[in-house]
Amino acid sequence: MADSAARSRVPVGDVARLFLKLGLTAFGGPAAHVALMEEEVVRRRGWITHAEFVDLLGAANLIPGPNSTELAIHLGYRMAGAAGLIAAGVCFIGPAVLITLAFAWSYARFGATHAADILLYGIKPAVIAVVLGAVARLARVAVRRPLTAAIAIIAAAASLAGGDEVLVLLAAGAVAVHPRRSDAALGGIQLIAPFAPLAAGAIAATSASEAGLVGLGLFFLKVGSVLYGSGYVLIAFLRGGLVADRHWLTERQLLDAIAIGQFTPGPVLSTATFVGYLIHGLGGAAVATLAIFMPSFVLVALTNPLIPRLRSMPLMAGFLDGVNAASIGLIAAVVIQLGREALVGWPSWVIGAVGAVAALTRLNPTWVILGGAALGAIAAAAGAGR
């Protein structure tokens, strides 16, 4: 990679324009973002080779944070140095943050109206369907062996029992790093032991006790620093930290925040902007956004020069296997928990079922959510019972 880096540099302005375009048009979640970046950077412009792209994607998967956002930052750094790192990251994140902020302002003022209730009635089960579809797709990659399947199930149980998400992820990584003579050799006791205190709900999350800007910033900084797997894992952190533990949000507000995050282009983690605004206004939105994305910029700057070494570390690969499997379990637990709020009355169950089929066929999440809103409005107009 060093040879190719010395061979060519892309003007920072070109990098900024490309990632601003992607930030405005990249719907469909992290997998779609990665595909769009590969199309633009490798196929259309030839700024880097396919092998280099895969190296950078692998590096993004090895560090905590939103994978597609970190890939954008890696690409910017590779093509235009430190200035490119900042330009690519800010331009990819910026549009989603501004759009989400506008939605948050509108929601804070008009979200409780009858018209909004009708719209959200159909959107909420559609969001559950989108997340369920993400669980199914991600599980095909992350849950491929008996060990990772067991980790995912135990992580889901621990989350449902009130376990701390960070410790669940760390324990899962530690279990997966165990010398892998065979899956059977680990034994049931070895698998369950690290999760036992979590399942009992004995471990509490570290946080400030009040919803001030400092406490809000520390929470999102923690999330941005330990968020492995898909951006959907954010939902588990938000529910555990902000709904169950601190009661800064209600289940309904969390569902609405997730819906907005799915509806906008760019990274799903722009949901933090929405949540920050609901908790502490414009200052909260700014603090939450900066805190959750800052670790990605720092980690990419630190790890980009080390990519060749990271790829050859078996322990890192094992740790990541366990963390990714646990991430799937955490997301699955959130689907169950939020489903209680979203699935109210038979029309919502029908919308959820139709949305799940659509999501599993990889229909763009935006269309699934728009379809849910339309079906919810039809059900309301027809006077369907809830």
- Residue 88 has a pLDDT of 96
**114-142 helix and 314-342 helix, angle to the nearest 10 degrees:** 150
Over the stretch 81-137, which tens digit does the pLDDT of each residue have?
999 999 999 999 999 999 999 989 988 887 655 566 676 778 778 878 877 877 787
Q: How far is CA 232 from the centre of its chain?
A: 3
Over the stretch 60-79, which tens digit does the pLDDT of each residue have?
766 788 888 999 999 999 99
Residue 5: pLDDT over 80: no
Which token pair is 353? 């079922």
Query: Which of these ranges, 37-41, 163-167, 353-357, has the smallest mean pLDDT?
Result: 163-167
Predicted TM-score (pTM) of the model is 0.68
Give the confidence band of 8 by pLDDT, cuts at 50, 70, 90. low
Separation CA 329–CA 359 (nearest Å): 19
Separation CA 70–CA 79 (nearest Å): 14
DSSP-based three-state secondary structure for 41: helix
The DSSP letter of residue 9 is -
For the chain, the first-to-last Cα distance in angstroms comes to: 58
Over the stretch 311-324, which tens digit does the pLDDT of each residue have?
566 777 777 778 77
